[in-house]
Amino acid sequence: MDELLVVEGLRKFFATSRGIVRAVQDVSFAIHPGETFGLVGESGSGKSTVAYMVMGMYRPTGGRILFKGQDITMPHARRPLVLKKELQIVFQDPGSSLNPRRSVREILELPLRVHRLVDGRKLQEKVEELLNLVELPPDYAEKYPRALGGGEKQMVAIARALATEPSLLVLDEPTSALDVSIQAKIINTLVRIQKERRLGYLFITHDLSLMRNIAHRVAIMYLGRIMELAPAQVFFERPLHPYTQMLLSSIPVISEEEERLKPAKIVSTGEIPSPVNLPPGCVFHPRCREAREVCRREEPGMREVEVGHLVRCHLYGA
């Protein structure tokens, strides 16, 4: 299968008054057309930083990003307009990403005008088509963001991202600020649109339960590194990394079947180290119940333990 997005050895460092923050280190993955790739991690893990580098909002310190085989490791301003059209993002907070002074119609018309996709009378038809795509009535075109609920604002943000008919959507925690019932509606809408248009999704989240239901593959990040990457079913049924096992064991479940799939309860110990002063060796070793002497000395690389299942851990050496 052709790869839509390829990320190779991505790194991002930030200089601060306290020192260098290594926000992202050696991150690699690929996304295929029609695939949802879930990038999961706690706050500060670097997952949103990866998303912003893919979008060109941050310039990588190292590594490269390929989109449809073309190197796009460059700031957003330098990317060709046709490339910007193909790659869109939906942010976590639609309230801050929608211009409060513009009506929904003006918000949806802007990308259509910028990319010269339609003009004249067809603009109105396209706006109505976009609203219908996200299941909003046509009269919402005349409303302003202040008159919309949180879920409705996010639907408008999704419609705006879809206006240019992109191939890949970066979804930066698009449901985390919303009520559970609204979350379900938005997720169902995204799944339907993906099937209709064969879109690729880079889904950034901290919610592992959500990824169990919608992701095709899942990667877990910790202190800027991908610790484990696998097809979703394998990831949840056969987690290998102690960090993955710790997180999965803490997910609340509602059925006995789900409880049987969970790893045995693992109590989290210690605190997440400062990204300015990372521990030597494996960055997870101060919190790992399986840590060995080699874990304190040497940083492990990613190893493929079975087809498509990669883990960064000394427990799975050659």
Please give the pLDDT value at position 126: 94
- The residues near 143 (Cβ < 8 Å, ≥ 6 apart) are 103, 104
In a domain, 156, yes or no: no
Q: Inform me whether the pLDDT recorded for 286 exceeds 70.
A: yes
In a domain, 139, yes or no: no
Confidence band (pLDDT; 50, 70, 90) for 260?
low
In a domain, 128, yes or no: no
In a domain, 112, yes or no: no
In a domain, 308, yes or no: yes
Please give the pLDDT value at position 263: 62
CB atoms within 10 A of CB 31: 25
Vertex 210 angle, CA 240 and 163, to 5°: 125
In a domain, 237, yes or no: yes
State the DSSP code for 196: H
Q: How many domains are there within the chain?
A: 1
Please give the pLDDT value at position 202: 98
Can you give the residue range of the structural domain that contains 282? Answer: 5-100+165-316
Please give the pLDDT value at position 27: 97
Residues 103-154 pLDDT 10s: 999 999 999 998 888 877 889 899 999 999 999 999 999 999 999 998 999 9
Q: pTM for the full model?
A: 0.92
In a domain, 154, yes or no: no
Please give the pLDDT value at position 252: 62
Residues 54-95 pLDDT 10s: 999 999 999 999 999 999 998 877 888 778 899 999 998 888
- Helix or strand (DSSP H, E) at 302: strand 302-306
In a domain, 148, yes or no: no
Torsion of CA 236, 239, 243, 247, to 10 degrees: 20
CB atoms within 10 A of CB 187: 17
Instruction: Give me the CATH number covering residue 93.
Output: 3.40.50.300
Report CA-CA distances (Å) from 253 to 12, 38, 65, 211, 216.
Answer: 36, 20, 37, 14, 20
